[in-house]
Amino acid sequence: MGGMLRFGRAMGSSLAVAASVFFASSFAQQSPSEETVSCPIPFASQPRGEDLFALYPQRPDELGVSGHTRIACTVLDSGAASCSVVREIPEGWGFGEASLRAAERFRIDPVDCSGVPTAGRSFQRTINWGDTTELCRTGIYFQPGGQEFMEAYPERALRDGVSGRITMRCIVGENGAVACELLDEQPSGFGFGAAGLALAAAFRAAPVDCSGESTVGRTFERTFRWRAE
């Protein structure tokens, strides 16, 4: 029906694939402590795309929720890495646990390019599960999906075959709540504005963005569209 959509398992599979892309690219990022080392940590193996696909948390996969994590790790004598979660956005959706399970795939060579033992060396990695563009920009991690749009289609407009579009301005508040106001409604008089505001009540935002900055008071605009068929 239009609007910002989230999907079920089919979309979740895409999120898991996207996770592998973001995850792989994140390995190129050295933590500040690593930038001063002439020989970077030599990884013998790291998680692969299929590993992340299998590890994507089920509930966010089904609901189209993306996640951002930052983990801090120390190289062990065995060549594995002991890691902990530094940041998890949003919390409570299993992304931190999934990231630690992914980190179990790390294997590091015993010495670096200069022959110095790697045991005890530390590093950090960012793991983005799915497309985190919206999450990092506004903090929004949950929003209405296709089924909700279908159910919210104004009855008269649906009966008469009328399509509609609305634009809202929203602001992130405390405790993840988001308040929106209607800026434009086309056409008016069919209930699209009220339907859009009702859908926007489902928005949920994380308290901080991917940089750890507070999202409270952050504003954004959103356009919803309904298309008659």
Strand partners, 170: 180, 220
CB 176 within 8 A of CB 207: yes
| Three-class DSSP category at 107 | strand
pLDDT for res 146 = 81
Would you call 171 exposed, middle or buried from its count of C-beta atoms within 10 A (0-12, 13-18, 19+)?
middle
Compute CA distances 220 → 138, 171, 207, 216, whole Å.
Answer: 7, 7, 15, 12
Q: Is 59 exposed, middle or buried (0-12, 13-18, 19+ CB in 10 A)?
A: exposed
Q: What is the CA radius of gyration of the chain?
A: 22
Q: Which CATH superfamily is domain 9-131 in?
A: TonB (3.30.2420.10)
CB 103 within 8 A of CB 23: no
pTM here is: 0.76
> pLDDT at position 145, please?
82
- Contact present, 26 and 126 (Cβ < 8 Å): yes
> Which structure tokens are listed for 154?
């104004």
Domain ranges of the chain: 9-131, 136-226
- Please give the chain's pLDDT, 229 residues, in tens: 333 222 222 344 444 444 544 444 344 344 444 545 578 999 999 988 888 889 999 999 988 899 999 999 999 999 999 999 999 999 999 999 999 999 999 999 999 999 999 999 999 999 999 889 999 999 999 988 888 888 999 999 999 999 999 999 999 999 899 999 999 999 999 999 999 999 999 999 999 999 999 999 999 999 999 998 7
Q: Which residue from 221, 202, 68, 89 is spatially nearest to 146, judged by alpha carbons? A: 202
Classify the C-alpha dihedral 100-101-102-103 as positive or negative.
positive
In a 3-state reduction of DSSP, which class is residue 202?
coil
Residue type at position 179: A
Peptide bond into 90 cis (omega under 30): yes
**In this predicted structure, what is the pLDDT of residue 22?**
47
CATH topology of domain 136-226: 3.30.1150
